[in-house]
Structure 1
Amino acid sequence: MSQVRVAAVHAAPEYLDVAATVEKACGLIAEAGAQGARLVVFPEVFLPGFPYWINCYPPLLQTALHARYLAASVTVPGPEIRRIQEAARAAGTAVVLGVNEREGSSLYNTQVFVSETGDLLGRHRKLQPTFAERTIWAAGDASTLSVFDTAIGRVGGLVCWEHTMNLARHALVGAGEQIHAGSWPSLSTTVGFADVYDDQVEAMSRNHAITGQCFVVVSQNPVNQQVLDVLEEAAGPQDLVTLGGGWSAIIHPMTPYLAGPHTGPEETILVADIDLADVDGTKVFVDSVGHFSRSEVLSLHVDNRPKKAVTFAVGDGVRREPLEAFADSEG
């Protein structure tokens, strides 16, 4: 399949409400599918929303919100993700959904990849949480730095300022990425970022399109009143984040816009028809992992083995016999 339609969701979640946000996501998937989309990309941690409080309050005032965010996390796989899988299958579209993922008592900023038949293809955990994000999310590893085969092409993704990690981007290019899902929050209404954030997103996204010779689908959420209400009810007044923002677009490998950019509080689904033959057309000029590379001078090694804090040479380290038997065996 060469020509396909893709979609970028420009919408806010039902903030910190997992069930309601799942319902909203399923509705948006159905709506995009009805418009002919074969891939739908959602913002960063759309389920259940970006933790804007991390940039607004002293750390000790954030602990209750951190606990609430842990309670509003999901497992992958898990019941919430199964609902997304069902929605993808019913709509006949692949989905890339940003989620607040829980494993044990640790959280990860994750993109979940679902096929158009509803299969869970895999996940990508943000390699390096940015700035204050490190107070809430653990770092991912390269075992989830992946590109997935779908019916519409090879799809990969990164989250927010991971796009500044040139080697992470190059790893996806090396894995044959054709369509890139860029999941971001809105930060353009945050103090200090109003004049630079949208320009940064545009620069990084268009740069990845041409340096990776791939289509880029950028999805962001606007900040709505729900976010401000939650922050101020839980931790007190703040004037660092305001309403609005969001920057979403679909970009050709040669960097023209195919849809958007759409900015501001109005929620919408951006759609564009893309032709994967244009990927090869762009690679005629520049193929970053082919004729335009100099592997004898510059090369990238990716250690994609999963990283664990504790490993056991044999078994899982869990002793299952009764304590009395253990005492007897020890004499």
Structure 2
Amino acid sequence: MKTMRQFTAAAVQVSPILPFNKEKTVDLVCEIVSEAADKGAKLIVFPECFIPSFPNWTLDLNDSSAWELHLRDFTYNSILVPGPETDKIGRVAKEKGVYVVVGVNEIEEKYVGVLYNSLVFIGPEGNVIGKHRKLFPTMREKLFHARGDASGLNVYDTEIGRLGGLICYEHLQPLLKYSLIGQGEQIHCAAWPGWPDVVNGRTNKHVIDAASRTMALEGQSFVIVSSMYIPQSVSQNIDLGNSNWSFFGGSGIINPAGEYIGGPLYDQEGIVYGEIDLDLIPLRKATIDTTGRDSAWETISMNINHVERSPIKRTSDSTNKELIDKIEALESKLQDFEKRSAAEKQEILV
């Protein structure tokens, strides 16, 4: 596949349609993809859990029934991957010839009520080329999301380079980051929720900034940071009890030296654009190359279990027989080896 060395990337910082409305939010995604593509973007990245929204409310112990009803509504507004909603976004991606990466709340047909915090990769042919389910839901997310697995810790070969991504506080998990860096990731999509600005007297803004720039420095890669912003005119109309929707954003585009080439954008909606030049990556690797001369794979390496998680694993009689046959074959080889060793030892003694 021939790689496009230079292209424009777009980091989206807007509010989903609230209260939860997956149909209108998907329509919004399609509109933004079309707009960004018309302005030259080849890669368009959306925030964490953008469809239908990041779940930033929590359980009210004085009214748990209300929380259950809100969660059911939230689940009904979440999507299958692939599914009708990704197909709709895919049609626009195909029409415009672009890559779209969007955070969603993902449901499964088989297990009703299960939600995943997922990052979906859609290619210019209109199909889902991959998805990553957040492995470790953070803090209050554990009320909503099941754990993902490593089957989605992949880097995709595309015409714009080797593309991957992580979600929110996964950027504070060194092993998760290196699982992508070690696959030669060049373009990293960092999906964040935006969060309320001040918590316990401290600002959250530096977290997204520091973690995203560190990702660029550690991987010598470009990082597209997409974070959510919800205007007060929208948040004041959301009634979910114990919640906070004053998200500040923080979207931007960072080069392999950890420098912003677009953004960061705070406290307003918008789309941040940046020019990606893959030829800057080897220039940065001339200083530090964490997958080449500055690594020691023979000393420190990773083992990733890419098997999908499932509550049921079936073991058939044929599987058992195959295992027994393998064990018996190994035992036979071991016995032959012991006999040969004993014979050779006897010859040496003679």
TM-score, normalised by the number of residues in structure 2: 0.84
**CA distance 1:208–1:226, change in 2 (3 Å):** same
CA deviation digits over 1:41-72, x for unaligned, max 9? Answer: 00001111111112x74482522211111111
Matched, 1:71 2:76: yes
Q: Secondary structure at the match of 1:87?
A: helix
Task: For 1:152 and 1:205, locate their aligned partners in 2 and report how far apart those are by CA, in whole Å.
Answer: 20
Letter in 2 for 1:285: T
Map residues 6-21 of structure 1 onto 2, 5 A cutoff: 6-15=9-18, 16-21=20-25
Q: CA separation in 1, counterparts of 2:203 and 2:150?
A: 29
Which residue does 2:212 correspond to in 1?
205
CA contact (8 A) 1:94 1:150 kept: no
Q: Secondary structure at the match of 2:57?
A: helix
Residue 183 (structure 2) aligns with: 175
2:284 partner letter: T
Report the equivalent of 1:89: 94
Task: Give the AA of the match of 1:204.
Answer: A
SS, match of residue 52 in structure 1: coil
- Deviation beyond 6 Å, 4+ runs, structure 1: none
State the Cα RMSD in Å.
1.7
SS at match of 2:50: coil
Q: Distance in 2 between matches of 1:292 and 1:137?
A: 37
Shift of 1:298: 1.8
Structure 1 length-normalised TM:
0.88
Q: Once the two structures are superposed, what CA deviation does each residue of 1:226-284 show, in whole Å capped at 9, x if it has no partner?
A: 34422x2x43xx5x6253511100000001110000000x2211111111011122112
| Residue in 2 that maps onto 1:278 | 280
**Alpha-carbon shift at residue 32 of structure 1 (Å):** 0.6
1:286-315 Cα shifts (integer Å, max 9, x gaps): 121211112233221111111211011249
Separation in structure 2 between the aligned mates of residue 135 and residue 176 of structure 1, nearest angstrom: 34
One of 268, 271, 284 as aligned partner of 1:269? 271
> Partners in 1 of 2:285 and 2:193 — Cα distance?
31
What is residue 133 of structure 1 aligned with on the other side? 141
2:170 is matched with which residue? Answer: 162
Counterpart of 1:256 (choices 245, 256, 259) is 259
Deviation at 1:128, TM superposition (A): 0.4
Q: How does 1:237-256 map to 2 (within 5 A)?
A: 238=242, 241=244, 243-256=246-259
Deviation of the 1:34 alpha carbon: 0.5
Quick check: 1:189–1:241 contact (8 Å CA) kept in 2? Answer: no
- Structure 1 match to 2:132: 124
Q: Please give the alpha-carbon distance, in whole angstroms, between the structure 2 residues aligned to 1:141 and 1:243.
A: 31
Q: Unmatched 5+ residue regions in structure 1? A: 316-331
Q: Secondary structure of the equivalent of 1:281?
A: helix
The match for 1:34 among 24, 38, 41 is 38
